[in-house]
Chains A and B, each alone.
Chain A
Amino acid sequence: MSLFVDIQKKVGKFNLNVAFETNGGVLGLLGASGSGKSMTLKCVAGVEKPDRGRIALDGVTFFDSERGVNLRPQERRVGYLFQNYALFPHMTVRQNVLCGLRRERDKPQRERVLREILDLLGLPGLEERRPSQISGGQQQRVALARILAGKPNLLMLDEPFNALDSHLRGQLQVQTRRLLGEYGKETLIVTHDRDEAYRLCERIVFIDEGRGAEAKKTGELFANPESRQAAYLTGCKNVEDARRMGEYEVEVPLWGVRLRTALPVRDGLCAVAARAHSFTPDAADNRYPVRFTGEMEEPFETILHFRYESQSPDSPDLWLSVSKDKRNDARTGALGIAPEDVMPLYR
């Protein structure tokens, strides 16, 4: 099972240029809003047409500008969960799900699949309701049921949990993760939420201003985001311009420090990033005097703002996050950071 995407599309001033390949499992498309994630899904589904390029799933070419191939969305057998779920408002839950089953000609078989899918998603009892009469979480599952009923060869979920409150979101993420595992088909999930990406996706393509290439293992992307945008989107709070000093050393002029790294530093380095929980008063490495400038309470941790003694006024405060009980221990005169937590960025 594999999905191949290499497309370009110009929409106004926006240039989409995305290339990636997957082989099985759940792939995340992570990017800020307006970065071209949804447009990518629409091109794969066939409801938008790329200007150039090629899209193929399991050896079936969906789109190939050179060979003039462009399958209709109806021929692609791709399940697409829209951000607003796109349930048909004038139809009942049952009728909505049956829309996904119209390829099945045998009526008893169709009823059987309908039952199965409603059971699987915990929807029995809602068959005769309309979308406006059920909750947001139920709507999401009806939309998922409608898609899964047609047994698509590829599943695409566009910000699937965006419209739900955080408690429900967590629950449905767990449920969906299990469901996707059982379904076992290629899945693309569009998200701008790092937790969601981390929980659901085995690999991630990072999309920045319409450009996206190469799927990375989720853990790798979080450990080594490589670009400023990716660092921000994976939740990194401390990012500053830097220059390469040696194979394992960078200088951050605005912080007035030099940091040793565990990752080799390549030419073309433009910045470094460090996560808020990476700094500690105990570390012997990369240890520099700091002063604390403020703090902010979070539900289960405290964010301490600090500056290096040598830091330029042009550079914003750095963030340190510690568990609440360690708050006072952290307020010492110097902080260090392990070389493996210093992340070199190249864009």
Chain B
Amino acid sequence: MDLFPLWNSLRIAAISSAVVFFAGIFAAYYAARLPRALKGLLDVVLTLPLVLPPTVCGYFLLVLFGNRRPLGIFLAQFGLKFSMTWYGGILAACVVAFPLMYRTARGAFESFDKTLAYSAQTLGLSDAYIFWRIRMPVCRQGIMAGAVLSFARALGEYGATSMLIGYTPGKTATISTTVYQMWRTNNDAEAFRWVMINLAISALVLIAVNMLEKRGKEAGAG
């Protein structure tokens, strides 16, 4: 059995959830400080991929990054080609998973007690210290939840991925596109194996989340 789809799915999910983790926190942190009207507009734009069908996201990605589109041609000069490559999957997963990270992180930041930041400032703590050592740990649960959700979403991404990078065995195949291809080509046994692998990964992720949450509660922070 060729395990390439497992490796490919994991690296796409890992890289894209890492990108989305920082991008989502960054966007959430700065969106919370914007004036109301601008915040509302940005919010709609940033959350749109969550409510759009992934195939529509894929369509837009193709329109932007397709081989014959201006941006695609421009990027090709630097050797970057997002359609039909494995790292195109990172782009697709990022776009689809980003709103989950952004939304949950924003919710966590908004419920953050401002007086904690104020008192930290008056105590002379630096802004970097306040962000990394106070705001982030206090909002940890919300941020962790966002990270897990976006990782799971990236791992399970099908629609935008299949539009942008298609299915090439050993090149762009991921677990979810493989399941579909195997089933479509009447290879039920192989499809079943990939379903089981996917189930195992998902279960592991959930167990890890529960363990983290428990540890968080025992530490007494809330």
Contacts and interface: CB of A to CB of B under 8 A. Distances in A.
A146 interface: yes
A50 interface: no
Interface string B80-104: 0000000000000000000000000
Nearest to B121: A73
Interface in A100-124: 100, 102-103
Given A42-B118, A82-B115, A84-B113, A89 B124 contact: no
A47 B122 contact: yes
A286 to B, nearest CB: 49
Contacts of A147: 123
B119 interface: yes
Interface string A73-103: 1101111101110101110000000011011
A86 B135 CA distance: 13
Interface residues of A, number: 30
B70 interface: no
A47 B134 CA distance: 17
B115 A84 contact: yes
B203 to A, nearest CB: 29
Nearest to A90: B221
B220 A132 contact: yes
A85 to B, nearest CB: 8
Interface of B: 113, 115-116, 118-126, 129, 134, 137-138, 140, 219-222
10 closest residue pairs by CB, A with B: A90-B221, A86-B119, A73-B121, A86-B115, A47-B118, A80-B122, A130-B220, A90-B137, A82-B115, A74-B124
Interface of A: 42, 45-47, 72-74, 76-80, 82-84, 86, 88-90, 99-100, 102-103, 130, 132-133, 143, 146-147, 150
23 contacts: A45-B121, A47-B118, A73-B118, A73-B122, A74-B125, A80-B118, A80-B122, A82-B115, A84-B113, A86-B115, A86-B116, A90-B138, A90-B140, A99-B120, A99-B123, A99-B125, A100-B123, A102-B123, A102-B124, A103-B124, A132-B222, A147-B123, A150-B123
